[in-house]
Structure 1
């Protein structure tokens, strides 16, 4: 063919500078696009060979090779795929946005199942110009009478095209890296980028450095290393679940996510209708704090990495998991990095949610022991899902477990069957086993099993459950003195009780220097408790919510704390206060202050100043004891 020069034919809706500068948000995406194109080229020629329209002989070693030359500042992408004729170069390269893959699919869609063709838009090749000052194509078509073609362009709209010298079928694309591409002269950067985008592409991808120094052994002999593909051409998620072993699942997890802690369990997704979706979702052992829980759902399209954690496809609450999802039917836009708004993506999201809920229900019903064993790790995820997705809530509400202070795991239904009548459908809970130990002991003494809700997600979770179930109320053990803990007085004199309360209140107000001190006198069944501090559940939740959302610095003066000091009339110290109320006594003040601080300590930590006073006062009381 004669040497030819010309201008690229640019469709008005696909202006070349936009393709070069703004089509892709990440410059490293060119590696994915060029390797994807190379895999497409191999898929096409394999398909033609199977139809008898190409003669490849016994050749089976299909591969993609990436070659770096640091000295020449070049990067080559080489495949042994279908190649191109000069007419095809004119059509598919010179006319930007004319998709060769799309045309190929149309031509062969009625000739049996076509292996997935990755490219759909005809734009991926031009991503090379984001990093290259000049791009060359050397290609030879599979057609017996075809001539090799060499094409070259410096990133403008001008190109040169002439007969090439390539002698084997396939395509070699050479990027002369410019200033924007200098980072890709790094062997490490290239290999990690290939692994990021191309880990599961369907043909082996090899990487080499052309100008690397030869490795030699101690005797000076050159060491020839067997080339090793950077990708896994048949990833585990493409296999039938029945053909996969537990060890294979665990190994795939470790390799893919570089997490050497074994996952708790997993779900293998395998769907062919009404859309094609395959993948594996892993439930990892979660970290302690909810704010540090980070998952990673890698989304693929025909074994090509698209992005991590795309919320249009992956339900938000599932982003706490780790996994791989491959859906060739995704309605991607031209950059493949973002999804078009489409009802189809919602169907995919709903399907994934259903499969996760089904797996959890199955595990609950068939292996309750394992489910309880995992509960400590998976309950934040399930509760988050309940908060974020009402359909998920409806599917799993019956399998939510509540761990009691005795270590028993009960569903809400089982808890209410056991205690509901006694507690009038109130569920008592503990948020700090150590801090609230006194309240826990009182609960145990009266046969009530409080449940443990000590995770950051639990406050919004229980509020959500209350909104769904009008007759259920959660009460922290220090929010109210349950009637079952009180010893009702026979023939109680209301007037006497009122006077006693006023007298004791005056003692505590004076001793504590707190005018807003609220006292409640009770006959508690337990004689070991002198005083307890309680606060209404609603008030405390509001304060905690304001603090959580950074509103703790606001003036809360208009919002009373509503803390109530409950004093036990049966306790000797409170009897002492009642006997000497109205008298001026330093000992009376010491007792009142000590009872109050002890009550605070079972409710919340003392402030630094209060703790200093408490220790000093405790020493004074012990001195008085030994002085008697």
Structure 2
């Protein structure tokens, strides 16, 4: 047998298209060639199962990846089904199982458009992304088959001659060119194999030719070193096992190994589905920090144990990308564009299934391990809230298990909170966004056995708006936005109107602020002199402006802050009694400024200049007290 000819490409050379299309991913050839080698082994094993071929006893299947830096070659060697010359013509010369024109029609436009998710239809020809010349030396399993040697230099011409291989299987040799020189580095090639092939179903060995000989002193040392070579992959990953066969330590060890995260996960979900589609995987809930913007998970997508990509949001719901995990779905269409995946009904079913399993796990945890659920809540609540914002079906499943920490440190559902505080709150849901900053308001609430919930995460602002839109009669109000009637004496507003008019004029004059709003109230406590309120609507508008980078727009909005002065407090009474006494002008001014700054401090940090004046004034007041 001695043959040469042209590849079945009628329109143009396919190789520039391949190189351009996969340019950003040209390490993909490692995945393609090794997964093809594993497929060749699987095909042979199936023939054995079907009694169409009998495997020799003690057959051990493996794939060797052999690097020879000096010769600039990489070999991928398998002991699988092999090929005949006719099969090479059919499968290699006609461009990886499809006609050349079909291939070009399907993929050419993608070179300039969206990156394609998987390239499993491309297979063998990805070798030309890194190689100048590729040879296939193969021997079929068939009795009496002749070995075949195919060679191509990346043009449209090939040669096909009789090969020299005596053992069943295939050796693909890549003569690496400039585009692939990085892969002649042992570390780069090894880590690429580990990236894509860590869980492929047959042992993969990495061998460096030309280096080990210099290190070996005799044959016995060579044998000992040979025995120490270990496969780079785990052929039976944890996600393929039945959950009943996996221990807690197994799950934790797998998590550490795959994600290099030495903090233990909170808990996990083992996905194991055979119908109506095949999907297996493990999703871990990691410990996450309090900054929503910096939360980032990692979901690894596999196809039959072959790594495809991280965080493919077309397949995995966006909010689940905050988790860490692996999902293996052999039924997933991969050699298509992302826009196709996004609109594919089958992919949508997979996404819905994963979402449902996560919601079921959270609900089950809430019902059967409530104490643990409350311990985890501080870590998982941003994820649950983000999921609720992104997916209404998810929200419907988890809305009854969303809990809130109260200012007393207890966890309550929104329904229980509203029912318990209905009389005092009048259907308002009071909340705290900064326990330290709003401590004065919290103390006031506690003094009169009122309750508020803590919503101090960056996602909570959007989540509150979502809850108000979804649930009737739910209205969130920050603890410093209004004074509950329960905190005030039952005095008439008309009775306090003269005091309000007097003190509003006084404070406007002293502070030189004509827009200041002042209101006098009779609070139940005498200790509190002044407090600042900011309407919920105004504050939300300011925060939204800041969130969306509108900056000055929010700052320039009219302030809706109101200075509330306590009619029962001695300092406020002193101002009402002595505000016209010209001998006490300095004292009056100092008290007004101090009451205003004290109220502001309980509400938000003072600007640097105001803080400097506040400290200086506090020292002056203490000096007066000491005299």
The TM-score normalised by the length of structure 2 is 0.93
Instruction: Please show how residues 212-223 of structure 1 align to structure 2 within 5 Å.
Output: 212-213=211-212, 214-215=214-215
Judge conservation of contact 2:13–2:156 (CA < 8 Å) in 1: no
Instruction: Please show how residues 219-234 of structure 1 align to structure 2 within 5 Å.
Output: 224-225=225-226, 226-234=228-236
Q: Deviations over 1:30-54 (max 9, x none)?
A: 0000001000100011111222222
Aligned residue-pair number: 603
Counterpart position of 2:297: 295
Matched, 1:515 2:514: yes
Q: SS at 2:207's partner residue?
A: strand
Counterpart position of 1:578: 576
Q: SS at 2:25's partner residue?
A: coil
Q: SS at 1:287's partner residue?
A: coil
CA distance 1:457–1:4, change in 2 (3 Å): same
Counterpart position of 2:42: 43
Q: SS at 1:57's partner residue?
A: coil
Counterpart position of 2:379: 377
Q: Deviations over 1:118-156 (max 9, x none)?
A: x99652100010111111111111112111111111101
CA–CA distance in structure 1, aligned partners of residues 539 and 339 of structure 2: 45
Instruction: Please show how residues 21-40 of structure 1 align to structure 2 within 5 Å.
Output: 21-23=20-22, 25-40=24-39
CA–CA distance in structure 1, aligned partners of residues 482 and 488 of structure 2: 11
Counterpart position of 2:138: 139
Counterpart position of 2:105: none
Instruction: Please show how residues 341-352 of structure 1 align to structure 2 within 5 Å.
Output: 341-352=343-354
CA–CA distance in structure 2, aligned partners of residues 511 and 607 of structure 1: 19
Counterpart position of 1:543: 542
C-alpha displacement of 1:555 = 6.9
CA–CA distance in structure 2, aligned partners of residues 253 and 621 of structure 1: 60
Q: SS at 1:362's partner residue?
A: helix
CA–CA distance in structure 2, aligned partners of residues 171 and 336 of structure 1: 33
Judge conservation of contact 2:78–2:169 (CA < 8 Å) in 1: yes
Instruction: Please show how residues 277-426 of structure 1 align to structure 2 within 5 Å.
Output: 277-333=279-335, 339=341, 341-426=343-428
Q: Deviations over 1:473-506 (max 9, x none)?
A: 11111000111000122xx482x53222121112
Judge conservation of contact 1:14–1:97 (CA < 8 Å) in 2: no
Judge conservation of contact 1:332–1:338 (CA < 8 Å) in 2: no
Supply the RMSD in Å over aligned alpha carbons.
Answer: 2.1
Q: SS at 1:539's partner residue?
A: helix
Instruction: Please show how residues 6-405 of structure 1 align to structure 2 within 5 Å.
Output: 6-10=5-9, 15-23=14-22, 25-98=24-97, 122-213=121-212, 214-215=214-215, 224-225=225-226, 226-333=228-335, 339=341, 341-405=343-407
Matched, 1:606 2:593: no
Q: SS at 1:95's partner residue?
A: coil
Q: Relative to structure 2, which stretch is displaced further, 596-605 or 411-420?
A: 411-420
Q: Relative to structure 2, which stretch is displaced further, 389-398 or 498-507?
A: 498-507
CA–CA distance in structure 1, aligned partners of residues 342 and 83 of structure 2: 31
Q: Unaligned stretches of 5+ in structure 2? A: 100-117
The TM-score normalised by the length of structure 1 is 0.93
Counterpart position of 1:589: 589
C-alpha displacement of 1:23 = 4.7
Q: Relative to structure 2, which stretch is displaced further, 155-164 or 13-22?
A: 13-22
C-alpha displacement of 1:338 = 8.2
Q: SS at 2:605's partner residue?
A: coil
CA–CA distance in structure 1, aligned partners of residues 329 and 145 of structure 2: 36
Q: Unaligned stretches of 5+ in structure 1? A: 101-118
CA–CA distance in structure 2, aligned partners of residues 340 and 460 of structure 1: 25
